[in-house]
Amino acid sequence: MPRWGKPYRDRRNWKEYNEELVIRGKFFFDLDFADQWDSELNAMNKGKRGSPYLFPESFMQFMMIWHQYLDYRGLEGMTRSLVNLGIIPYYGDYTTIWYRIHHMMPDLDISGMQYAELGTDGTGLKTNNAGSYRITKYGDPDARRESILSLS
């Protein structure tokens, strides 16, 4: 099919692109934490003082990924569904999920990668519903602050 008077040759690798999309889906719904639930909890609680952890770190990382799209009560509903399906043994309340995610420091190891791309969306994805009334009544105090990061 000619484009602008020149023949067009499609050089895209559709097989590779399709595989990238499949891997992206696996990233968003990776249930590997369920296989190592007990062993990871035993390792985390070994020598710990105070109340033991009830949820492994890998499960909280899974919750952190989904927190982009769901609020904490939505995450609690998601964990209840995972319990009903028999994937995890029990669920916690949203405050437990909040506390663990809030105090978690994300780690990113790029030492084995040839290149890394990082991008953020500066359009203002809303991740929670807190303070809607205050913002409606008094205005948003952070409305003047904008931060957009793009690293290639």
Confidence of residue 89 (pLDDT cuts 50, 70, 90): very high
* More confident position, 132 or 34: 34
Percent of the chain with pLDDT over 90: 25
Contact 97, 60 (CB under 8 A): yes
Q: Going by C-beta distance under 8 Å and a sequence separation of 6 or more, which residues neighbour residue 10?
A: none
The pLDDT of residue 83 is 92
> What CA–CA distance (Å, rounded) separates 119 from 122?
9
Average pLDDT, the chain: 80
Which of 7-16, 24-33, 82-91 is the least confident region? Answer: 24-33
Q: What is the pLDDT of residue 67?
A: 87
The model's confidence at residue 21, banded by pLDDT at 50, 70 and 90, is confident
